[in-house]
Copies of this chain bind each other. A is one copy, B any other.
Amino acid sequence: MGVTIEDIAREAGVSIATVSRVINKTKPVSAQLRDRVYEVIERNHFKPNSLAQGLITKKTNTIGIIVPDISNAVFGKLTKGINSIFAKLGYTVVLCESQGRLEEEIKLLELQEEKQVEGLLFAGVDVNHTLVKEMQKRDYPVVLVTQEASEDEGVVHTVIHNNEAAMYDAVRFFLDNGHRRIAYLGGPKNDYSSGKKRLKGYRRALEEEGIPVNESYIEQVEFSFEAGYQGMKTLYEENSKLPTAVVTGSDVIAVGAMQYLDNMRVRIPDDISIMGFDDSEFATYIKPELSTVRISYFDEGVKAGRMLLKLIREEEVQPITEYVGHKIIRRSTTKSLN
């Protein structure tokens, strides 16, 4: 245990410089010495200490990822996408969870700096001015993913799906299918990208169609089954005229809403159509199968990973926002009124 380059050098009867050269193939070494060194390395299971390597080369082959919660399927897929890019390049990932708490996010941003990551993927929740400043203060490039900066548009590298357009398209889908009374059961207000932006898309679609936005058709809740259930309950109880369609902020919210409607003997999609968001694993497991706005978080991770890589290699300069696509998936919870 703890065999070092010096041990190898001594045992092989060469200098540590030579050992280093055979490890890194950085300079020619005679076949004879090379083989001898390799043999000793094998026999002792020698592995170079990457701390020492990183200290001198300034290259750690490490990137960081900060997500609110790794057990959330969205971030699981995202992380997998990111890792798919870096793993094959020999990079390793330092994973941290922030619980979506600002102070924690800042602390982790600093912690990752101490770990000398070469770059960082950051899935924030509300990326306000404070956070943007913190990101810029760092020694390493960071790309924001899954969220965009709420107060400083375009100053920080971002990879995200177009939330406004996605929700716009969802509403547009219902409009095209003859719906006029469309309710919004979306994510929380304090979530800039997945809350505010989507609501904006909802409003825009309605306004473009000349349909006045009915504020009591708007319910903003947490991303959970229970919140979806309660939100639908509010929508149901507080509107004498029910909507014919509901767009939601996530499949989990949608399924909670469906549960409530089922309890109330409201039929889906005959009485009310429901549109989910994300296209979660279970979307096709439930009955009726859930129509939804598909977002590929894996692809988002891949794209963000590629962007970070460019930044690490200094191939990119301007802060830029890149979008990953979305797609309306029609299944069985939506019905045409035409």
Q: Which of A54, A60, A284, A298 has the most CB of B within 10 A?
A: A54
Interface pick from A30-38, A41-49, A144-152, A185-193: A41-49
Per-residue CB proximity of A71-89 to B under 8 Å, as 1/0? Answer: 1110111011001000100
Judge whether B60 and A71 touch: CB under 8 Å.
Answer: no
Contact call A79/B70, Cβ cutoff below 8 A: yes
Known: A282-B285, A285-B225, A286-B287. A114 touches B73 (CB 8 A): no
Which of the four size classes fits the interface of chain A? 35 or more
B69 and A80 contacting across the interface, CB-CB below 8 Å: yes
Instruction: Say if the beta carbon of A96 comes within 8 Å of chain B.
Output: yes
Copies of this chain assembled into the complex: 2
Whether the pair B83, A50 counts as a contact (CB closer than 8 A) is no
Q: Are A94 and B93 in contact (CB under 8 A)?
A: yes
Is A10 located at the chain interface by the 8 A CB criterion?
A: no
Q: Is the CB of B1 within 8 A of A139?
A: yes
A92 within 8 A of B: yes
A97 at the interface (CB under 8 A from B): yes
Is the CB of A317 closer than 8 A to any CB of chain B? no
Closest 9 CB pairs of A and B: A282-B282, A71-B80, A71-B76, A95-B95, A76-B76, A50-B114, A71-B77, A51-B51, A51-B55
Task: Beyond A2-B139, A70-B76, A73-B76, list 17 extra A-B contacts (CB 8 Å).
Answer: A47-B113, A49-B55, A51-B116, A55-B55, A70-B80, A70-B83, A71-B80, A75-B76, A83-B96, A87-B97, A92-B111, A94-B94, A95-B95, A255-B285, A282-B282, A282-B286, A285-B285
